[in-house]
Structure 1
């Protein structure tokens, strides 16, 4: 089998554009390579489905790829909500730095409960100073919160979880099985994923990027969230091309509806921690029973083995844990954590997830057994840490008006402009048939199955 396991060779695609995100790490190089991975696997799928006879040229715009690692959507005459909760951020403890991730109410409450303070940033800062980083990290995690002490690269590589992550493959393939792909007569070289049903059960940020990417090539993406869920700072960016519905899987009716959707899906993308789907009644055996011919791609924060494999985490936290924020501090000659200029671990993992789904589809189209793909932000961090960085004085910090598509996008929040696509595969362009939409605005049904 030739399932995706690494980034494509740099001489296998054409690169246009120049510049780099300012960072101690090869953020722009990672952006271009991750887009190229999507293109490489899309070409392989198109050939497997006999949509093309010869491999089309694969082109990545280096500048646009770098920009897509930030926000791809620019509102016109209105502002997107803040990405961060007022309490979230880096704090100095008694012996170093720690980051609190409090965007979700439960995570915010866990941190405040441990610190025994009200939701006031100054009060939080004073309380954090009385703790050591490791003790506070352990206490908040034990309370169900999300946090990370800043570690150096050497400390991370010597840490039990760092050692475990170093043994993980970039993309882990598990549970091989034979599948039969559903016929999609509407698929063409221009829209190779047309008719492909993708069930999106992911949250910020990597998973939604993966499904947004698949939607760009014609996939029918249906995102499911619990009633009332929202991610106001990012949804205008990542809901592009999708239908978004609410379902409560903790109720019998909601679980039954999700099971019906899964039974008709071609691809399942989810970001549930190990055991979480089991608790909802969607065990591996149940998923195999409901959707034996599905492609499944999933991710977690800290890897799939080791003591932290079940730990809650986000891009900014993994950057703290894995030594990225500390290396950035040294590079910038700063006196505080210096993260990447964008959430590159999320973005890279998202594009690799999309590429993994395409890779599995190709294997299935060729009649080979396929496996489930597992990725993690922490393992992507290790890829970034060893990736070669080109030196350039041309810094990419913000988009210019010419970087955006000329046609406006009428999102559910208001009109704005979307970046031009960074990836081109021959005559196959990334085109999204739906503008960004709010969560819960669609019915939880596959549109192609409407009576």
Structure 2
């Protein structure tokens, strides 16, 4: 498996024009699935770690090399399940979230973790807010009809499909990184960590985007997360994804909020956003707007569905993308189950997050060598396509967590137990300087 991961990382580096970095792969895989989840996990963490090592070398650090332990990577891919607040695990799913049998013998997954998505489901299905009522309503409709009704109502849903329909959709590269404009060469000063002094704006939530920015923070970046009081969050998940970050609130519906974000973006190095396509453009923060504001900015878009595909603007989450792209259907058939069988983790989320970090760091490498503004994009569905391409295996056994890779910190939220960040860049272990902040507690300024 190590050689497959090494080849995958070499290919990813080559795809974005970054010189090869030696990678050592150790440890035993621990994410059992018919899909090669361990390869996906190892390669995505390995790519981000290798890029960090390459950037560090470019700014006067040691010769680039990287290493990953697959057991540690596996724990990182279930970090939200191992995370504890005052000894208690997170409650990750709302009562109405889950898989429902449909009237045509199919299945649909409803995502109700946000109140407005739950309310959209209830409007679309004309039903009461109980699981039995929602199940009864789904049982009267075909799966795709439920999906379409919920999406039309402003909600998030995914009908179970085989892999064939998705295979026929147009698609782009797994990680897209392009030079979008001219700008000066921006070499970074010598530093004790790969991303020390790099300013990152985090306009993401849930898992994939926050994993990307959490990874940048672990390699030394200063990350400022931009949220808003009116934007819903999954409370415990915000904590697990909040290590290494400060948190401020800006209402981008207001002129004051937009002015503050423009001021931050003008002096940022990286901006990672997880809004649906077009949402930021409508607020004056599209790609061209940001390029004019800061010709040396590296931007990365994290989306559910591939930007080139017909579902580019569709709401989506990992669990839904597993349904729509055929992953849950193939898992169901392999296991001989009568209901969808997902991956053993939110693997599309986590892998896409590390790939987003990889894109951002690669953009910084290019900026330091040839200047310009750089734009990257990654998607959950693109990651699903990559996972599908890696082939199939007979699932092995899972691995028990290694307590040595779990740390604890006392915070205003209580004692938080968390998985340490994986990967080693040129002999340096990544680490977070900051415990999760109180949401919205920071001023919208760089420090």
* TM over 0.5, shorter chain: yes
Match of 1:217 in 2: 219
How far off is 1:157 after superposition? 2.1
Match of 2:76 in 1: 68
Match of 1:234 in 2: 237
Match of 1:49 in 2: 59
Residue 385 (str. 1) matches residue 394 (str. 2): no
Match of 2:299 in 1: 296
Match of 1:22 in 2: 32
Q: Find the residue that maps to 1:312 and give its secondary structure.
A: coil
How far off is 1:286 after superposition? 2.0
Q: For the Cα contact (< 8 Å) 2:194–2:219, is it kept in 1?
A: yes
Residue 249 (str. 1) matches residue 252 (str. 2): yes
For residue 48 of structure 2, the aligned residue among 33, 38, 50 is 38
Distance 1:3 1:286, change over 3 A: farther
Q: For the Cα contact (< 8 Å) 1:318–1:378, is it kept in 2?
A: yes
Q: Find the residue that maps to 1:289 and give its secondary structure.
A: helix
Cα RMSD between the aligned structures? 2.3
Query: What whole-Å deviation, never above 9, does each CA across 1:200-230 have from its counterpart, x for those lacking one?
Result: 0011111100000000011000000111443
Structure 1 gaps, min length 5: none
Number of corresponding residues = 433
Match of 2:139 in 1: 129
Structure 2 gaps, min length 5: 1-11
Q: Find the residue that maps to 1:234 and give its secondary structure.
A: helix
How far off is 1:368 after superposition? 5.0
Q: For the Cα contact (< 8 Å) 1:92–1:128, is it kept in 2?
A: yes
Match of 1:346 in 2: 349
1:8-19 residue pairs with structure 2 within 5 A?
Answer: 12-19=22-29
Match of 1:271 in 2: 274
Distance 1:68 1:8, change over 3 A: farther
For residue 83 of structure 1, the aligned residue among 79, 92, 114 is 92
Q: Find the residue that maps to 2:285 and give its secondary structure.
A: coil
Residue 147 (str. 1) matches residue 157 (str. 2): yes
Query: What whole-Å deviation, never above 9, does each CA across 1:391-444 have from its counterpart, x for those lacking one?
Result: 574422x42323324xx3124421133323320122322011001223212222
How far off is 1:76 after superposition? 6.0
Q: Find the residue that maps to 2:236 and give its secondary structure.
A: coil
Match of 1:92 in 2: 101
How far off is 1:445 after superposition? 1.4
Q: For the Cα contact (< 8 Å) 1:268–1:294, is it kept in 2?
A: yes
How far off is 1:11 after superposition? 9.9
Q: For the Cα contact (< 8 Å) 1:193–1:218, is it kept in 2?
A: yes
Q: For the Cα contact (< 8 Å) 1:4–1:171, is it kept in 2?
A: no
Match of 1:324 in 2: 327
Distance 1:427 1:391, change over 3 A: same
The worse-fitting range, judged by mean Cα deviation, of 29-38 and 282-291 is 282-291
Q: For the Cα contact (< 8 Å) 1:87–1:102, is it kept in 2?
A: yes
| Counterpart Cα distance in 1 of 2:322 and 2:396 | 25
Q: For the Cα contact (< 8 Å) 2:14–2:20, is it kept in 1?
A: no
| Counterpart Cα distance in 2 of 1:253 and 1:8 | 39
